[in-house]
């Protein structure tokens, strides 16, 4: 599919399943190399990162454990609320080498809040792996050690990412087709 419509909006293909598979394998290799002598604990931020986590964890060839957390800074729309709500229980990460698995790091508010929350339990280290990093949108410094793609601020759906609950199941990643503003032409007579 080269485009999809979800609710009232249309999206065009941005990253194909083949590109995603290739990049996830590269990220898995990087993690494998960096954690060869450690046992990372993947903390998966659901729902968004669950598809990425399944692909990634199956390819990371080191002993590891995983847990899921819920954190949301987005409401039903496309703008970050700037406030992070945690749902469910926080896993015990004391002394662990944690890798937070996220779908997108946009302003960075969510990841920073998760890092701060997990840091209270004194893990040994915390790293971040994300499908997409949007460095230009970061409002505060946040280091995303592992990412499949970097891009500007386009709104994406698919591969776990939703628009108002829809589109998570899409195997490719799509970007919003922005409305083209109506052109007004002015005629000037000299």
Which residues contribute to the site for ligand 5GP (CB under 6 A)?
48, 73-74, 80, 102-110, 155-157, 161-163
> Which residue among 55, 103, 106, 162 is the active-site one?
106
In the annotation, is 106 catalytic?
Answer: yes
State the binding partner of 156 from Mg ion, ligand 5GP, none, CB within 5 to 8 A by kind. Answer: ligand 5GP
Return residues touching Mg ion (CB under 5 A).
Answer: 48, 103
* Cβ-contact 59, 34 below 8 angstroms: no
State the binding partner of 47 from ligand 5GP, Mg ion, none, CB within 5 to 8 A by kind. Answer: none
Identify the CA nearest to 58 among candidates 66, 69, 47, 68: 66
Alpha-carbon distance of 186 to 4, in angstroms, equals 35
CB of 99 to ligand 5GP, least distance (A): 15
State the binding partner of 109 from ligand 5GP, Mg ion, none, CB within 5 to 8 A by kind. Answer: ligand 5GP
Alpha-carbon distance of 113 to 144, in angstroms, equals 14
Identify the CA nearest to 117 among candidates 80, 82, 71: 71
In terms of CB distance, is 152 or 186 closer to ligand 5GP? 152
For residue 9 the two structure tokens come to 């909006």
Annotated catalytic sites, by residue? 106
């Amino acid at each position: 599919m080269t485009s999809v419509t979800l609710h009232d909006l249309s999206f065009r293909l941005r990253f194909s399943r083949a590109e995603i598979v290739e990049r996830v394998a590269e990220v898995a290799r990087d993690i494998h190399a960096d954690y060869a002598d450690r046992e990372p604990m993947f903390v998966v931020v659901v729902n968004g990162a669950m598809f990425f986590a399944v692909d990634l964890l199956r390819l990371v060839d080191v002993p590891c454990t995983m847990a899921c957390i819920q954190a949301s800074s987005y409401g039903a729309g496309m703008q970050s609320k700037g406030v992070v709500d945690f749902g469910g229980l926080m896993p015990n990460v004391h002394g662990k080498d944690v890798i937070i698995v996220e779908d997108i790091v946009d302003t960075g508010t969510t990841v920073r809040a998760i890092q701060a929350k997990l840091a209270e339990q004194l893990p040994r280290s915390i790293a971040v792996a994300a499908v997409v990093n949007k460095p230009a949108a970061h409002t505060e410094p946040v280091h995303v050690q592992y990412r499949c793609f970097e891009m500007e601020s386009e709104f994406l759906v698919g591969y776990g990412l939703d628009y108002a609950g829809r589109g998570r199941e899409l195997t490719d990643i799509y970007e919003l087709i922005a409305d083209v503003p109506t052109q007004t032409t002015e005629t000037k007579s000299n």
